[in-house]
C-alpha cells in the first residue's frame, strides 16, 4: 500500500492527517510542497488543487482531511 501526503508545515489539517496516520500505524510518505516545487506540481497534476493536504492512497486522490474517504481507500 502506498500513501502519499502533500502538505505544508503551517496546515492544521495536514497535522491532523499526519497524526491520524501515525496513531493508526499507517505508513506514509510526506512531501512539503512549500519547499519542493516539483512535488507541488505533481500534487496539482494529480488533484487539480493548490490546497493541502492532498492525500494519495494507492492512486485514489483525496483533497483535504476526510477520514471516511481515507478509511475507504485503505480498505480497497
Under 8 Å between Cβ of 51 and 63 = yes
Q: Which residues pair with 55 in a beta bridge?
A: 5, 62
pLDDT at res. 7: 98
pTM: predicted TM-score of the whole model, two decimal places: 0.94
Look up the CATH number of the domain holding residue 39: 3.40.30.10
Strand 54-57 to 60-63 pairing: antiparallel
Which tens digits make up the pLDDT trace of 17-34?
Answer: 999 999 999 999 999 999
Q: Using omega within 30 degrees of 0 as the cis cutoff, is the peptide bond preceding 10 cis?
A: no
* Domain assignment of residue 20, given as a range: 3-75
Q: For the chain, which residues score pLDDT lower than 70? A: 1
Domain count, the chain: 1
Amino acid at each position: 500500500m502506498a500513501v502519499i501526503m502533500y502538505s505544508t508545515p503551517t496546515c492544521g489539517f495536514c497535522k491532523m492527517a499526519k497524526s491520524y496516520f501515525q496513531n493508526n500505524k499507517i505508513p506514509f510518505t510526506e512531501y512539503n510542497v512549500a519547499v519542493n516545487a516539483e512535488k507541488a506540481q505533481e500534487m496539482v497534476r494529480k488533484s487539480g488543487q493548490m490546497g493541502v493536504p492532498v492525500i494519495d492512497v494507492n492512486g485514489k486522490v483525496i483533497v483535504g482531511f476526510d477520514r471516511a474517504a481515507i478509511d475507504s481507500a485503505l480498505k480497497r
